[in-house]
Each structure stands twice: as C-alpha cells, then as structure tokens.
Structure 1
Amino acid sequence: MALIAAAGKAATAAEAVAPPPKLVLFMAIDGFPQEQFVKYYDQLADGGLKLLLDKGAWYGNNHYSHATTYTGVGHATLLSCAHPYKHGVIGNDWIDKQTKKRVYSTEDPRHKYLDEETPDHAGTSPFNIKVTTVGDELIYANGKSKVIAIAGKDRSSIGLAGQFSVAYLHSTTTGRFITSDYYMAAYPEWWTAFYANKPQDKFFGQTWTLSMPDEAYARSVPDNQPWSTNYKGLGVKFPHPIDGGGASDKPGKGYYDATMWTPFGDLLMLDFVKAAIDGENLGRNPSGAPDLLALSWTSHDYVNHLFGPESRQSHDQTVRLDRVFADLFKFIDERVGLDNVLITLSADHGFMNIPEYSSSRRLDAGRIDPEAMINDVNAALSKQYGDGKYVTTWWNPNLYVDYAMLAERKLDKVEVEEAIASFLREYPGVEAVFTRTQLERGQMPATRLAKQVTLAWHQKISGDIVIMNKPNWYLFAKPKGYASTHGSPWAYDTNVPLAMYGPAWIAPGKYGDSETVDLARTVAHILNVRPPNGCEGSVLTEMLR
C-alpha cells in the first residue's frame, strides 16, 4: 500500500509540472549594473521592468565570477553558463600567440556579411567560442525550435546565438540589422520587406531631450560636466542632436553610428524585434516546440561610456528603455500570451562611476595609461637586463611578454615575469598583478580576486601578465577615450541583474545570492534540455514553482 501511495504522489507531482514555455525571451542590457535596475523604480512603467521586479523573481546580489567584465566575455557567458577559461572569449580582443596579431572575439574571415561590405575584424561567426549555449541544446533536443539573437553589437548577438542559431547585428554602414553567410545564404522575405522603406532613417535630424521634467532627475548628476565626452557629434549636454555630427544633410554612416549611442537605438531595435517575432512566428511554433529569442540592448552601454551611470543621460536612457520593454511585452502578450512566455533579464557587465566624479566624492580614483605603463615597464627592465622591449603590447587587462627575446638572451622566464609584476604592483592605480607562471602552476593566492582572475584566464589564449586595477581607477586602451568604462573585478562591474518572469515556472520575490552562470542553467532546466557543454551554473531551485 505504501508503494502504491508513493507512486500516486509521484504521478500527481509529474502532472503538476508545467510544460515548457512557448517562448523564452532572454534579454540583456549592455552595461547595466544592478543598482540601475532598482534605482529609478518610482519612475518605471507598470508593464516594463516592474513586471520583473513586482511579479517576477530577482536576485539583488547576483555577480559575475570572472574578473574581465567586458562585452564579449559577458555575452559568451550569459547563455553558455560557462566561465571564460572554458568558453575561450577572454576579452573583446586579444593577441594571437602565433601571428602576434589582434584577434577580435567574433571575427572569422571565412564568412562575410550579406548584402554589404565586411570590414576587417568584423564579427561574422562564433568560431572563437568554444562551447554551446542553451539555444544550441534546445535545437539539439528537438530539431524544430527557432533560436534567434538580435543586438546592436556583433559580439553580443553572436555570443548569445551560439553555434547553431541565427544572429542579427546592427550595421553602422547601412543602419540595418544584418547577418553573415555563416547563418544563412540570403535574407528571409520578412527582412527584405521590413527594410524596403528604410525605417532606420526615421530619427535623422531629431534631438534627444529629457523625457521627464528637470526635477525628476534630482538623484542624478547634471549634464555638461567637464569629464563628459563629446562623441559622435552628440555634445555633452541636452538636447543631443542625432545627425552624426552634421557632416551630411541626409542619413549616412555618421548618423547610423550615432543613433545607437542614444535611446533612439533602442527604438530602432524594437521595430526590428517586432518584425522578427512576426516574420518568424516566434512563440507559435507549429510543432509545439519552444522558441528562444535572445536580445541585447546596446545603447545603455554607450550612454554610460560617454556620460557615466551617475548622469542624467543614463537616468533618462534607462527610463526610456523601460517604456520600450513595456511596449515589447504588450506586443508579445497579444501574440503569444505572457503566461506562455519565460522572460529573463541580465547584463553583460556593470559600470564604474567616472573617475573624476569619484574623486569629487573624495574617493581614490584616476586613469591608467596602458601605453605609458608599457614604456615604464620596459625602461625599468632595460636598466636591469639590458635594452629591450620586454613587454610587446597590451590588451585589456593583459601584457604580452617577448619570451623569444628572453630565451635568446638566456634570461630566466620566471625571474623576468616577477620583475615585471614587482614593478607594476607599485604602479599608480594597480591593485594586483599575476604572472603566466603563477596561473599555469596554480600558485595563486587564496583570495576571491585571484579566483576571479583564474576563471577569466585561458592558458592558450590569454596574455602573460594580468593586471587588476584598483577600485574607481579607469583601465582601458585609451585613458581618455571614454568618460567611463568597465572591465574590472569590482562589484560595480560584476553585480548585474538576474531576474525571471513566468507565472507557470517562477515563484515571485526578491532573493539573495546568485552567480550569473546560474541563469542559463536554470533556463535549460525549465526547458528540459541538457546544460550547455561548458556550463558551471546551478539551478536556482528556490525561485522555481
């Protein structure tokens, strides 16, 4: 009798399990720290981000576990639930060990863009990504699901799309969302019809103005600060012209590029996303199989680079993007029904405050010039070992050592590495330095920072000296190229949203600790597919029904 009762309970439990969603809407906001997810709550629309905050589950202390919080790294992590040491995307760019040339994270010269020129180092395929994604495993499981990724950046869409899906990315040449011949031989009919009347031109000559009264931005830093960056002809204060710097009286490359650095870029993407949903019939798969639509909203990252997350521009862009989400969710509800949709939200990285703003708050902050740092290192080593270029180049956050020269001079590799590290540990703005020998031999200190660096470092791809900047210090290729940046192991860069909505699968509420790799693992669990092959995330069982 006990066995029969147990069997009955098991059957009841099995019957209670909800079927997989008809559509997974997997969203990332580029450069969106957790603090901005909740900071403007009182100004959010009811049907946008509040849908996730009020009716979904979200983790307030979700973090990336790797140290290199860059766009390519984050997007390769999000749907693979793998760390960089496994998925192989250790930065947006790196130096090839054999050719000594730059490699862009999603470049693949074997493949070209459809219907337009392919620039050097353009992102055209996932060749450099060494693992699968949830979308890949969903396609493997049933062979009938549609999986599409759309983003403003090639490294974002390609990272989310994985090996077997379709990636669309924004072209600054034509203003269209395009793809490459890796994914298809020709565009579908819905794509051609969508671009027949050049919808990408409709914002030309408009200006970006505040969407709310001035007093609504009291919590944010006023614009026209001396540290803001006048980039793409946008200026440093409201209103911001959207014309590409006024170089032409009609839409062209300057305008198409500048548009994505403003909230108008989100509106362009929204229009294309709607066309893709209808054109591909997403969420209404005739076979009944789940579909997956992965979106990365790029403009927020660009706004934060130019004005900082503390700015009125970033504040306004967030509120405007919230309205875009409300529009998109309503659109999907009308076609698929939100009860049939699993919505997730995260980000590829957070963002630091502008160093000069941090200094004004009496924090230790500044900017490191990588080229000057290389020159200083080589000058110091030349005094010790003889004239030479011991460090050849830099790519965030790695220095590359000329080991061939060391061998030729019969210099001890470990000794020179340690000499470089010792010099840099005293360099202004540097928190910690790790060497190739330390990482290869597992001789890392027992600290969280060392663990973050280990997860971010790939033996065959990464550089030789890894530099971690101090909190609030800017470390990027050009110290004054942007007002603000990201890429560090500090909480403002690692703490990003992890939120999920789906009444059939998700128990609403605010939760505590999680890792970003847990998100894709949980989505795979809900879809009843195997985890991606490099996955190290855990299923967030506490927030599941």
Structure 2
Amino acid sequence: MKKLSFIFICISLFIFSCQKKDNKQKSPKLVIGIVVDQMRYDYLTRFEDRYGEGGFKRIIQNGFSLENAHYNYVPTYTAVGHASIYTGTTPNNHGIIGNWWYDKFLKKSIYCVDDKTYNSVGTETNKGKKSPYRLFTTTLTDQLKLAQNNNGKTIGIAIKDRSAILPVGHTGNAAYWFDNGENGRFISSSFYMNDLPNWVKEFNNQNNAKKYVSQPWNTLYDIKTYTNSISDNNTFEEKFKGEETPTFPHDLPSLMKENDGIGIIKETPFGNTLTLDFAKAAILGENLGKNKATDFLSISFSSTDYVGHRFGVDAVETEDTYLRLDKDLADLFSFLDTQVGKENYTIFLTSDHGAARAPSYLQSLKIPAPYFDAKDFKTFVNSITKKYFRNDELVENISNFQLFLNKEKIESLGLQKEEIINKLVEETINYKTIYKAISAKTLQNTNFTTGILNSIQNGYNQKFSGDVLLVPNPSTISSYYKKGGTTHGSGFSYDTHVPIIFYGNGIKKGSSKKKYEIIDITPTLSNLLHIETPNGSTGKIIDEVLKK
C-alpha cells in the first residue's frame, strides 16, 4: 500500500511539473510601443464617454493602466521623451537634452538626430541625413536585439524623424519618417539601408497623404456634441494661414499653398491615420510577429502634437483629433488580432510629454499664467553682467531655460566664472517670470530627491547642459504663443502627467494609483521579455503589471 501511495505521489508530481512547464508564459511574437505625442493623462478621462469600445477603452479595461505616471525630469520635449521611454533613464545619462540644444563645443545649436555622415534614402533632400549617434546609452530595442543574437526585426515609424529614430536605438533595422515633398512620402537614412524596401515604395506610390488632404477637415460628429471643449471660435487658438477664424470646417485643399503644402497633413488627425496605414503596411511587408524571434514595432503618432501646438488643450480640434485617433487605435488592435494573433503581441501606450493650457485662456479665468519674453529676458541678463562685471557679452547663449557662459571672454577679462554664475543665479530670480534659478555646480554637488529641483537635476547633463538652469513660473510658456496655441517643456504636472497602459501577452488586467515614472516602462518590459535592461537604465520593474 505504501509503495502504491509513493508511486501515485511521484506520478502526481510529474504531471504537475509538466503542467507548470506548459503554463509558462510564452514571449510575445511582437511588441508594439505606441507614443501619442503631447497626450496629457486627462485626455483619457475628459473624452472617456466619447471613446468607442475598441480603442483606448479596450486596452484600459483589458490591460493595466497606471493612473499616476509622470516624467521625472526637465525638459519635457519630444526627443527627450522618446529617448527616456526607451532607455529607461533620464537625460543626465542618455545625453538627449532637447530637440535642439546649444553645443558649447561647436558654438552652435544642434538638432538631436542630424548626422551628415549618412545620406537620405527615398528623397533628394537632406531630410534623411539622420542617425541616433547622439544617444549615449542602449535602448530596450537594442537589448532585445542583443538578447536574440541580432535576430528579430526592429522598426520605428513616425511623422517626426526623431520620434522614429530614437526608439529603435542603435541596432534598428529601419526607421521611417514623413517628408513633405510634392506627394508626401516616408523616407529613411543610409544608417539603416541603401534603398527603400519594395513595400515602402509601393506605399509611397499610392499617394495616400495627398488623398487625405484633398478633403476638408470637419468634425467627426455634430459639432454641437463637442461639449468637452470650449467654443470653436475663440481667441486662444492659432489660425491656419489664410483662415479668418480658427473654426471648422478647415478647407485643407485651399489652405495647402500657404501652410507647407501637403505637409499640412501633420497638423490634422489624418497625419495619425497616415501613420497607422504605414504601420499596417510595415507589419505585412516585414512579416512582423511571424518570425521565430520577437519583433518590435515603434509607432509614434505625431499629429496630436502639431494640432495641440496650433489649437491648444481646450480646442474642438484637439477633441476631434483624439476621437479620430481612438478609431485608428481600434483599427490597429483589430488588425493585430487578425495578422499576429490576440495572444501573440504585447502593447504599451504612453506619451512623450503633456501640454500647458494657453495662458491667455487661463488669464481669462483669472488664473496666473504669464508669457515668457525671451528677447526681454536676454536684455535683462546682459544688464546684470554689465552692472556687476562691466561687460554684456559674458553670456554666450540662452536657450531651453539655460544660460551658457562665454568662458573665453571671461578668461580674457580675468574674471572669475563662479562669481559670475553665482551673481546670475542671485539676480535672474528677480525676473518677473522666473520661478527658480540654480547653478550647474549646485546640481553636481547636491542630491535633490524630490520636487522640481530633482527634475532639473535628472535633466542636467554635465557634458552638455548650461552653467545656470532656470525654472519659469507655473503655466508660463513662450510669448511666441501669444498669437494662440500652446507648448510644453516644464516639470509641472500638466507637462509630466501622461498615460501609461500595458496590454496583451504577459500583462494583468487592472490599474494603479501609485506614482510611477516614465523610465519604469523599459525595465518592466525587459523583465517580461527576459532580457537585460539598457546599460544606463535607472527605472524600476512595475511588478503589479506583470502576470506571474
């Protein structure tokens, strides 16, 4: 009897062991990273009752949503956001400190992905001379390539070049972005290839961009139903050139000539739809999700940013863009179900930054919200150095709320650099729209663990950043936007609070109100994929998102 019991136990343990092996979570065949440019978190809640069941609601209800996720650095710009999402770290490590920034070695402003050592592919212009070489660390996509012995395909797609290039890191098979041109085409760089694949050429030959802008942009639904937005005709939005009012319908065919030709598509929701069309063509053309190794597709929807800049947070145009994007996402998810299989893909959706409400609109409600006048501030700064050091050429550059000193000039005059820096910190705080000022030396010698100075510190790169860093007042943006629209870049909640939603293979259903940071996405997915995190990663694994 004892012998039979022993045999029964052994058989049971063997069956249980086999079941555990069978139930082990299989890695997804395709990972899709979706970045919605300039998407504030509250666009999920504000338009919730208008979204369908197949887009945002599908991944929120069946995936895991982080409701209190934030960027943990300044500046909150597009290139910096995409780099931080995919490296799992902040600008002090990955080196992308802006879209453009002042290079204190070259003495000029540089663009984050410009690279003259490579050639354009798919266009005769210089718009393809790009690469990720200014990105210092590896990305999630790099690590996936390394873990799979360079197998699996990694492709980045966006209207913006920086949004296509930075997510796929240094080992991407391809990155494609939009070139306005005569017909509007997706192009690339010789960093990735010498010629466009046939499926890209076929897509470009269809002239889809031209088709989308051959019709007016009208609201998806009756304009009277857009009650989540302010009046369509208001003074807080920027008009398209040639329009008398910033109102629907926007007659795209007649507006093209004065508004960047076919490039006007970028500032409409149809730019997102075009991006979706191209992403679907990439999945089919590259057989993504059908290979032995895990593939990765990065999609950045850029048009939400262009629309937001022109029309602002509270515009009917912004609401309409998100309602249309919701339908595009539903189309994408349904397409993935069919082409890849519901159990074979994992998605994350987030944003590269939020946006401020138009100060003029906030002022109309008696909420403090000034504009920052860069020219006036430059005069103010030069007056400081003139007063205390008898020279108004000691500050070489002012950009991205940073001051770069003219070190050669200071040395030639026998002045002390630290004395000038301390005086600038002491005096610039007196400017009407400056909230805080801090020196690079303080950031190097002091550890700020919370608050806006912690965000400044995370965004400060000792090699590239300025000598004095400034924080404008809350809800302050450039006076450029006095004519309408808005922008982003601060460390305040309207710019830092963004959605993070995980969905699909290996992801639990649920939500969390705990505070997480944007740099936590990549360590979490690295754990899901059983790969090493990027070499500069400082984020943490969000354990509650993952199935055990």
Q: Does the alignment reach a TM-score above 0.5?
A: yes
Structure 1 residues 176 and 84: CA distance shift in structure 2, 3 A: same
**1:327-338 equivalences in 2 (<5 Å):** 327-338=331-342
> Which of 529, 543, 546 is the matching residue for 1:544?
546
Which residues of 2 match residues 413-492 of structure 1 at below 5 A? 413-440=417-444, 442-443=445-446, 447-475=450-478, 478-480=480-482, 483-492=485-494
Secondary structure (helix, strand or coil) at the match of 1:45 reads coil
User: Counterpart in 1 of 2:521?
Assistant: 519
Aligned-partner Cα distance in 1 for 2:286–2:61: 30
The unaligned stretches of length 5 or more in structure 1 are none
* Alignment deviations for residues 21-46 of structure 1 (CA, whole Å, 9 cap, x no partner): 11111100000011112221111111
Structure 1 residue 12: Cα displacement: 5.9
Q: Work out whether residues 131 and 534 of structure 1, in 8 Å CA contact, stay in contact via their aligned partners in 2.
A: yes
Q: Quick one: distance in 2 between partners of 1:443 and 1:194?
A: 53
**Cα deviations by residue, 1:155-206 (Å, 9 ceiling, x for unpaired):** 1111111101121111122411110100101111111122223222112331
Q: Is the 8 A contact 1:244 1:255 kept in 2?
A: no
Q: 1:69 to 1:11 in 2, by over 3 A?
A: farther
Alignment of 1:137-286 (within 5 A): 137-142=143-148, 143-165=150-172, 166-174=174-182, 175-231=184-240, 236-243=246-253, 245-247=255-257, 254-285=260-291
CA distance in 2, matches of 1:49, 1:445: 36
**Conserved 8 A contact 1:149-1:157:** yes
Amino acid at match of 2:463: K
Moved more, 294-303 or 529-538: 529-538
The within-5 A match list for 1:233-382 is: 236-243=246-253, 245-247=255-257, 254-285=260-291, 288-382=292-386
| SS across alignment from 1:27 | strand
Shift of 1:426: 1.5
Q: Separation in 2 of the partners of 1:526 and 1:409? A: 58
Inter-partner Cα distance in structure 1 for 2:117 and 2:376:
36
Q: Is 2:30–2:296's contact at 8 Å kept on the other side of the alignment?
A: yes
The answer on whether the counterparts of 1:436 and 1:465 sit within 8 Å (CA) in structure 2 is yes
Q: Secondary structure at the match of 2:189?
A: coil
Deviations 1:104-151 (A, max 9, x none): 01111111211323448x661001001111111111111221110101
| AA matched with 2:352 | D
For structure 2, the 5+ residue unaligned runs are 1-5
**Take 1:522 and 1:421, find their aligned partners in 2: how far apart are those partners?**
39
Give the drift of 1:225. Answer: 1.7
What's the offset of the Cα at 1:318? Answer: 0.5
| Residues 1:436 and 1:494: Cα distance change in structure 2 (over 3 Å) | same
- The residue that corresponds to 1:500 in the other structure is 502
Tell me which amino acid in the other structure corresponds to 2:178: H
- Please tell me the residue identity of whatever aligns with 1:401: L
Question: What secondary structure sits across from 1:74 in the alignment?
Answer: helix
Q: Residue type matched to 1:511 in 2?
A: S
Sequence identity (%)? 32
User: Do residues 111 (structure 1) and 115 (structure 2) align?
Assistant: no
Secondary structure, in 3 states, of the residue corresponding to 1:178?
strand
TM-score, structure 1 length as denominator? Answer: 0.93
Q: Is the 8 A contact 2:144 2:531 kept in 1?
A: yes
Alignment CA distance shift 1:231-1:460 (3 Å): farther
Q: Which string of whole-angstrom CA distances, capped at 9 and with x for unpartnered residues, describes residues 332-372 of structure 1?
A: 11111122110110000011100111112221101101222
Which one of 61, 64, 83 corresponds to residue 57 of structure 1?
64
Specify whether residues 228 and 482 from structure 1 end up closer, same or farther in structure 2 by C-alpha distance, changes over 3 A only. closer
Amino acid at match of 1:20: S
CA distance in 2, matches of 1:459, 1:490: 23
User: One-letter code of the match for 2:180?
Assistant: T
* Alpha-carbon distance in structure 2 between the residues aligned to 1:516 and 1:531: 15
SS in structure 1 of the partner of residue 477 of structure 2 = strand
Residue type of the alignment partner of 1:170: F
User: Matched residues in 2 for 1:127 and 1:342: separation?
Assistant: 28
SS of residue in 2 equivalent to 1:414: helix
Further displaced range: 392-401 or 182-191: 392-401
380 and 211 in structure 1: CA distance in 2 versus 1, 3 angstrom threshold: same
Aligned equivalents of 1:520 and 1:505: distance in 2? 15
Q: Verify the 8 A CA contact 2:360 2:482 in the aligned structure 1.
A: no
Alignment match, 2:402: 398
2:24, 2:241 → 1: CA distance? 51
SS at match of 1:94: strand
Distance in 2, Cα, partners of 1:277 & 1:242: 30
Q: Secondary structure at the match of 1:339?
A: coil
Decide which moves more: 533-542 or 319-328: 533-542
Q: For the residues of structure 1 that align with 2:309 and 2:494, how far apart are their CA atoms? A: 14
1:14 deviation in Å?
5.3
Distance 2:353 2:189 in 1: 26
Rate the CA distance shift 1:41–1:90 in 2: closer, same or farther, 3 A. Answer: same
Counterpart CA distance in 2 for 1:78 and 1:538 is 12
Letter in 2 for 1:113: S
Q: Helix, strand or coil for the counterpart of 2:253? A: coil
Q: 1:486, 1:52 → 2: CA distance?
A: 27
Distance 1:418 1:516, change over 3 A: same
After TM superposition, give the deviation of residue 427 of structure 1 in Å: 1.1
CA–CA distance in structure 1, aligned partners of residues 196 and 449 of structure 2: 52
Is the alpha carbon distance of 1:463 and 1:357 closer, same or farther for their aligned partners in structure 2, counting shifts above 3 Å?
A: same
Worse-superposed segment, 378-387 or 492-501: 378-387
The answer for the alignment partner of 1:66 in structure 2 is 73
Q: CA deviation at 1:233?
A: 5.1
Shift of 1:438: 1.6
Report the equivalent of 2:3: none
Give the CA deviation at 1:465: 1.5
Shift of 1:243: 3.3
Distance in 1, matches of 2:118 and 2:253, equals 31
Amino acid at match of 1:237: T
Match of 1:79, SS state, is helix
Read off the aligned partner of 1:101 and give its amino acid letter.
K
| CA RMSD in angstroms, aligned pairs only | 2.2
Evaluate the alpha carbon distance shift between residue 6 and residue 90 of structure 1 in structure 2; reply closer, same or farther with a 3 A threshold: farther
**Which residue identity lines up with residue 146 of structure 1 in the other structure?**
K
Q: Report the 3-state secondary structure (helix = DSSP H, G, I; strand = E; otherwise coil) of the residue aligned with 1:168.
A: strand
Q: Structure 2 CA distance, aligned partners of 1:443 and 1:197?
A: 57
